[in-house]
Amino acid sequence: MPTGTRPGPRAPGRPGMLPPFPEKLPPKAEPGKPLYTRKPPQRQRPVADKREQEGERKLHPTRQRPGSDRRSAAAVIAPPEPRAPREVTITEGITIRELAEKLDVRAKELLKNLLDRGVFASINQALDVPTATTLAESFSGVVSVVSLEEEMVLEVAKEETKESLKPRPPVVTVMGHVDHGKTSLLDAIRVADVAGGEAGGITQHIGAYKVLVNDRSVVFVDTPGHEAFTRMRSRGAKVTDIVVLVVAADDGVMPQTKEAIDHAKAAHVPIIVAINKIDKPEAQLERVKRQLTEAGLMPAEWGGDTEFVEVSAKKKIGLEKLLETILLVADLRELKANPDAPASGTVLESRVDKGRGPVATILIQNGTLKPGDFFICGAVFGKVRAMFDDRGRPVIDAPPSTPVEVLGLQGVPDAGDHFQVTDEAKARHIVEYRQGKQRDAQMARSSGARITLDQLHEQLKAGDVKELGIVIKADVQGSVEVLSEMLPKLSTDQVKLKIIGSGVGAVTENDVLLASASGAIVIAFGIRPDRKAADLAQQEHVDIRTHTIIYEVSDELKKAMEGLLEPVVTETYLGRSEVRNTFRVKGTGTVAGCYVVDGVLKRDGQIRVLRDGAVVYTSKLSSLKRFKDDASEVRTGFECGAGIANFNDVKVGDILECFQVTKVSAAEAAAERNINTAATSRK
């Protein structure tokens, strides 16, 4: 490159020449002013933004849109339109997410509403019914509270059509007074012997059986007739389509007969009267019909609307006519169910079976139950592991109106609980919520049972009230319910019966420990204590009473209550003797040589030492001898040697008075007093 030239693109003109000057030079800057004009300053962040002008809460600072006028007035926003009322069904333990879906709002709006009330909750948190109701009403919800089972029934009812409903067998409940032949009548129909296996020949819990009648099925539910089983009879009436009222022809209408009529009328089900034991010579059919007419059941042959059938379970007379009448009444009712729906039903009985765990007898009322189904009944969750019919045979499925024994429960449900098949997640969620509620209620009851100083003062003023604690264990849940209701009613003014624990299954060590800590007795109804529990009861001196018949429990408890009352002590005079000499015997002490003046001196009697008419000492005889032989008693006019236990200061001239102390229960003493009073008044 030649000298004098600069690198870069070649400029126009001759080589080596400088570029030409511009035609117009930039103006010179004035003194005191910058050479270049400064950029305009950036727009300041507004102090009051649009959200603040609209009155909303400022969540975070926002940049105002460039070019908008800060001083311009905020746009007026119309208030939100009120929400239209929306019908919402709320179940127990509903979560915030489920409630938001039913209200058709965002879950965060519900959370904000709860936060404004001071309640911190998550989206999956369960709400109790009052909170969920208040929350739904604040979003224009018209709330109706139902249980999970009722909600499932409503959902199934919406999807049901006339084509989906199929005829189902009738459910017949057999009711009547105790020992009128209900179970014997069912045995004759089923050709089985259930009554023979019942304690005392009396049905003590519900039995459900399925019987084939001319290619058609009839389900029979047998309820107890004893007066203590009112709740079981009412439970049988709730699940039934037809009630067969069994009345003995030789006994007529009895208290439980009237009660069964009341239960059937309350359930609005038709009644068929079966007059049993017509083969007996003392049977009076017309008298029975007249008594039932007075009770509100007019025979059809007399112009009424109640069917009467004369039967004999023993001789098997009139059974076919009874079954025909049942099927005729069932046809008139047009009983139908949807076999394709999720299974639902009622728990008739529940118990703990050794080797199989909790077992429930369930009457399926709608849908079909299959192995593997998840279900909920009350506060118990389960999965069907196996099903058995009333004769113990395994079954694959249970269509409507089928009684089955179900295995696979995680606990023992209460008799009368609703049984519902549902999905696993929802069932577990509801069961956890219900079990929590039960625990809270139990804790409230136990804390409420604690006594305060005010109550203690009131009890001290009222006088001593004794309590008898009872732990109840039975073979089935229905018997536990009955005993829990019946036994406290036996309380008197002096003795109060208190149920401190109850359950289904064998008596365990925990039951014995509970009874030992509370000073209670254990009543085992229809079960036996296991070996460890029996050994522990013997160590802890806990009384375990085993029974199989209901009225024996009440009779024995009445006797036990009488024993709890302060016994009446009675003293019986036996005789007296005079001390004529005393002898010191080495190793024995002082022996009194006595002469029996009156009555008899007994070895097992009590002795009172009298000196100058005053009682010096009261004890019992340590020895009684005639010459060198031991004697059990010494009568008037005989001499003897008597040793007084723990007393050696016997002197000549003392009188030894012999007597016996007997303790009589308050009831026996009162009865004896009444007899003596009556005898005195007759004199």
User: Alpha carbon of 268 to those of 239, 241, 261, 330, 419: distances in Å?
Assistant: 11, 9, 11, 14, 22
Cα 499–Cα 534–Cα 540 angle in degrees, nearest 5: 70
What are the residues facing 344 on neighbouring strands?
366, 420
Q: Which of 133-137, 362-366, 433-437, 449-453 has the lowest mean pLDDT?
A: 449-453
User: Alpha carbon of 577 to those of 521, 620, 633: distances in Å?
Assistant: 46, 14, 12
More confident residue, 404 or 201: 404
Answer yes or no: do 591 and 618 share one domain: yes
Model confidence at 565: pLDDT above 60? no
Model confidence at 461: pLDDT above 80? no
Give the best-scoring range by mean pLDDT among 136-150, 270-284, 565-579. Answer: 270-284
The tokens of 265 are what?
């009328």
- Last residue of one domain, picked from the residues 532, 564, 596: 564
Answer yes or no: do 205 and 217 share one domain: yes
- Last residue of one domain, picked from the residues 334, 359, 380: 334
Q: Does residue 671 lie within any of the structural domains?
A: no
Determine the pLDDT at residue 445: 54
Model confidence at 371: pLDDT above 80? yes
The domain that holds 117 is classified in CATH as 1.10.10
Q: Does residue 125 lie within any of the structural domains?
A: yes
Cα 73–Cα 79–Cα 82 angle in degrees, nearest 5: 175
Q: Does residue 409 lie within any of the structural domains?
A: yes
The domain that holds 351 is classified in CATH as 2.40.30.10
CB 52 within 8 A of CB 64: no
Model confidence at 221: pLDDT above 50? yes
Answer yes or no: do 191 and 309 share one domain: yes
DSSP string across 547-581: ESSHHHHHHHHHHHHHHHSPPEEEEEEEEEEEEEE
Model confidence at 459: pLDDT above 60? no
Answer yes or no: do 556 and 488 share one domain: yes
Identify the three-state secondary structure at position 590: strand
Determine the pLDDT at residue 166: 85
Identify the three-state secondary structure at position 444: helix
The domain that holds 555 is classified in CATH as 3.40.50.10050
Confidence of residue 533 (pLDDT cuts 50, 70, 90): confident
- Last residue of one domain, picked from the residues 564, 583, 601: 564
Q: Does residue 17 lie within any of the structural domains?
A: no
More confident residue, 25 or 486: 486
CB 483 within 8 A of CB 525: yes
* Domain boundaries, position 525: 466-564
State the DSSP code for 67.
Answer: T
Confidence of residue 502 (pLDDT cuts 50, 70, 90): confident
Confidence of residue 498 (pLDDT cuts 50, 70, 90): confident
Answer yes or no: do 203 and 288 share one domain: yes
Please give the average per-residue pLDDT across 511-517, as a whole number: 80
- Rounded Cα distance between 402 and 306, Å, is 27
Model confidence at 489: pLDDT above 50? yes
Answer yes or no: do 180 and 296 share one domain: yes
Determine the pLDDT at residue 578: 92
Determine the pLDDT at residue 203: 37
> Mean pLDDT score of the chain, rounded to an integer?
75
Crossing angle between the packed helical segments 107-116 and 96-103, to the nearest 10 degrees: 110
Determine the pLDDT at residue 36: 61
Answer yes or no: do 484 and 382 share one domain: no
Q: Does residue 58 lie within any of the structural domains?
A: no
Confidence of residue 349 (pLDDT cuts 50, 70, 90): confident
Q: Please give the tally of structural domains in the chain.
A: 5
Answer yes or no: do 112 and 240 share one domain: no
Q: Which residues contact 596 (CB under 8 A, 6 or more apart)?
A: 575, 576, 577, 634, 635, 636, 637, 638, 639, 640
Q: Does residue 43 lie within any of the structural domains?
A: no
The tokens of 155 are what?
């959902």
CB 386 within 8 A of CB 435: no
State the DSSP code for 199.
Answer: G
Model confidence at 78: pLDDT above 70? no
Model confidence at 109: pLDDT above 80? yes
Answer yes or no: do 590 and 611 share one domain: yes
Answer yes or no: do 572 and 556 share one domain: no
Answer yes or no: do 299 and 221 share one domain: yes
Which residue is it, tokens 């189904």?
Answer: 373
Please give the average per-residue pLDDT across 95-124, as a whole number: 83
Rg over CA atoms, the chain: 45
Confidence of residue 292 (pLDDT cuts 50, 70, 90): confident
Q: Does residue 397 lie within any of the structural domains?
A: yes
Over pLDDT 70: what percentage of the chain? 73
Model confidence at 12: pLDDT above 60? no
Answer yes or no: do 558 and 652 share one domain: no
The tokens of 143 are what?
């709330």
Model confidence at 450: pLDDT above 60? no
pLDDT per residue over 375-418, tens digit each? 888 888 889 998 888 778 888 888 888 888 899 888 888 877 88
CB 326 within 8 A of CB 318: no
- Rounded Cα distance between 455 and 679, Å, is 45
Model confidence at 193: pLDDT above 50? no
More confident residue, 64 or 525: 525
Please give the average per-residue pLDDT across 175-198, as a whole number: 68
The tokens of 48 are what?
């009051």
CA-nearest of 273, 353, 277, 341 to 313 is 277
Please give the average per-residue pLDDT across 210-233, as a whole number: 66
CB 583 within 8 A of CB 560: no
Confidence of residue 577 (pLDDT cuts 50, 70, 90): very high
- Rounded Cα distance between 344 and 338, Å, is 11
Determine the pLDDT at residue 344: 87
Q: Does residue 212 lie within any of the structural domains?
A: yes
